[in-house]
Amino acid sequence: MTARHSRSRLAPIAILCLAAGGSLAGAIELPDRAPIPQRRAEALRQEAPAVEKPASRAMPAAETACREELRALGVAFTAAPAVEAKGGCALPHPLEVTALSPKMRLQPAAVLNCRTARAAAALFQEKGAAAAKKYFDARIATVVHGSAYVCRPINGMAKLSEHAYGNALDISAIELSDGRRVEVGGNAKGADAKFLADIRTAACGPFATVLGPGTNADHADHFHFDMKKRRKPYCR
């Protein structure tokens, strides 16, 4: 006799035993452990932890207008993911900029806020281009930077750098259409030195802070331009 047939025959016996107040222990073999009842799907859904979705960041009208100005200037850029890092570094509407005009690359690609990108594009398209024509009879082909957005403090201080807000751009060299590369540094001489001096002077105003060789050891080999809010520009 199979186990299945045995169980089917014992079922009526079990019912009779219960009706008579008897015990099933001698009639059938009881399991050591009862199966654990499964929770309903609805309960599982209610107990699942909620996934927090990031709040959408509405783009301010000023930001939208700034981007339209960049397009009018021919700046090549794409929107980058918002930045909010530990310590206070923040960049709610960043851009990744790859060119300051259709014929003027920015290398490497720089993550900046729109205001800083616009100031850089205007500076190099206007006064920078005029200086390149004046001293070298050439155009600016590439602006080489050493730092854009970086979540870090000012060197030697606890206070955050303007780089931590995408508010600054460090220029290390400028490459011209004739192949010349002008390095920003204390050793520039002749036309190179005059070219760099014109750009540095022109940057004071569009940018609130202008630092470079001669300011201190930290800026001996590059220009630091930033858009920090000040009563008047700080240029050294």
Q: Would you list the DSSP string of 45-106? A: HHHSPPPPPPPP-PPPHHHHHHHHHHHHHT-EEEE---EE-TTS-EESS-EEEEEEETTEEE
Q: Average pLDDT for residues 113-127, to the nearest whole number? A: 98
Of 220, 137, 116, nearest in space to 172 by CA: 220
Residue 85 has a pLDDT of 86
Question: Could you read off the pLDDT of 26-47 as tens digits, one per residue?
Answer: 444 544 544 444 444 333 333 3
Q: What are the backbone angles phi and psi of residue 90, rounded to the nearest 5°?
A: -155, 140
Residue 231 lies inside a defined structural domain of this protein: yes
| 106, part of any domain | yes
Which token pair is 74?
């021919």
Question: What pLDDT is attached to residue 4?
Answer: 46
- The alpha-helical segments, DSSP class H, found in the chain are 3-19, 41-47, 61-73, 114-123, 129-136, 190-203
Domain membership of residue 71 (yes or no) is yes
Q: In sequence order, what are the residues at sequence separation of 6 or more whose Cβ sits closer than 8 angstroms to the Cβ of residue 216?
A: none
| Res. 209: pLDDT tops 90 | yes
Is a pLDDT exceeding 70 seen at residue 21?
no
Number of domains in the chain: 1
pLDDT at 86: 81
Q: Is the pLDDT of residue 222 over 50?
A: yes
**Which pLDDT belongs to residue 65?**
97
Question: Which has more pLDDT, 167 or 14?
Answer: 167
pLDDT for res 18: 40
Structure tokens belonging to residue 44: 């599982």
55 within a domain of the structure (yes/no): no
pLDDT > 70 in the chain, percent: 76
Going by pLDDT thresholds of 50, 70 and 90, the confidence category of residue 57 is low
The pLDDT tens digits of the residues spanning 67-76 come to: 999 999 999 9
CA Rg value for the chain: 35
Cα–Cα dist 99/107, whole Å: 8
Q: Dihedral of CA 234/90/60/98: which sign? A: positive
Instruction: Let me know if 168 is exposed, middle or buried by CB neighbors in 10 A (0-12, 13-18, 19+).
Output: buried
- Report pLDDT digits (tens) over 137-194: 999 999 999 999 999 999 888 899 999 999 999 999 999 999 999 999 878 999 999 9
Residue 106 sits in which domain range?
62-235
3-state secondary structure of 167: coil
Rounded to 5 degrees, φ, ψ at 103 are: -120, 20
**Amino acid identity, residue 10?**
L
Which residue from 122, 116, 126 is spatially nearest to 208, judged by alpha carbons?
116
Does the pTM surpass 0.85? The reply is: no
For residue 42, being part of any structural domain is answered with no
Confidence of residue 100 (pLDDT cuts 50, 70, 90): very high
Please give the pLDDT value at position 156: 80
Q: Give the pairing of strands 209-211 and 223-226.
A: antiparallel
> What's the mean pLDDT in 56-61?
77
Query: Please, are residues 199 and 123 in contact by the beta-carbon 8 Å criterion?
Result: yes
Strand, helix or coil for residue 145: strand
